[in-house]
Chains A and B, each alone.
Chain A
Amino acid sequence: DQQVKQNSPSLSVQEGRISILNCDYTNSMFDYFLWYKKYPAEGPTFLISISSIKDKNEDGRFTVFLNKSAKHLSLHIVPSQPGDSAVYFCAASSGAQKLVFGQGTRLTINP
């Protein structure tokens, strides 16, 4: 039962353009959503989060959008930089319950 889904295993974007990573969820009880970034041989690092009471949260080049009716969230990175090349995981939780992760999307930024 995959409650959090990232349907694109990989994405390639040209440096300077916008990267859009997508995530869908099935559990309507989820009320907190996060994005993590992972480099090889390292643990995931927290990037940005959003509460279900909001539909947008912005932090520098990173913006997360939440569409509760569609059970969909997205991460926008603009402008994309070579250092953004990594695997991105979305995650969701409900109250004090465990954090559920998607399968990840490998983002490659091309110079």
Chain B
Amino acid sequence: GAGVSQSPSNKVTEKGKDVELRCDPISGHTALYWYRQSLGQGLEFLIYFQGNSAPDKSGLPSDRFSAERTGGSVSTLTIQRTQQEDSAVYLCASSLGPPAPLHFGNGTRLTVT
């Protein structure tokens, strides 16, 4: 079956612009996660959706970052007024819920110039 799909695969934007990153999780997966990996760094947790529960937003680095998950499926991560330090690979993952393993997409490489 299809895996986790992320779009776009690459995004170059100017500082100050807003960007939207999309994630299509595996059908039936109730949990959805966003992580990011900056150059030479590990995986930094951003936000976690689990079923109908309130999302865990504890990893969002600033109020410029927001995410939503519509209909329990597709998720969009929005970064407003992008800064150069936002440049990273943004990874989405889904799972059947803890402790089931996460399935990752190939990520969106965001470059802010």
Contact = CB atoms under 8 A, between A and B. Distances in A.
A45 B107 CA distance: 12
B45 A100 contact: yes
Nearest to A96: B98
A101 interface: yes
Interface string A56-88: 000000000000000000000000000000000
Nearest to A2: B42
Contacts of A25: none
Number of chain A interface residues as a range: 20 to 34
A19 interface: no
B67 interface: no
Contacts of A93: 98-99
Nearest to B45: A98
B59 A98 contact: yes
Most buried by B among A32, A45, A99: A99
A43 B107 contact: yes
Contacts, number: 57
B97 interface: yes
Interface string B51-89: 000001011000000000000000000000000000000
Given A32-B98, A41-B106, A49-B101, A96 B50 contact: yes
B105 interface: yes
B4 interface: yes
8 contacts: A32-B98, A36-B102, A43-B91, A45-B104, A97-B56, A99-B33, A102-B42, A103-B42
Interface of B: 4, 33, 35, 41-43, 45, 48, 50, 56, 58-59, 91, 93, 97-99, 101-107
Given A42-B106, A43-B106, 5 more contacts: A32-B98, A43-B104, A89-B42, A98-B56, A99-B45
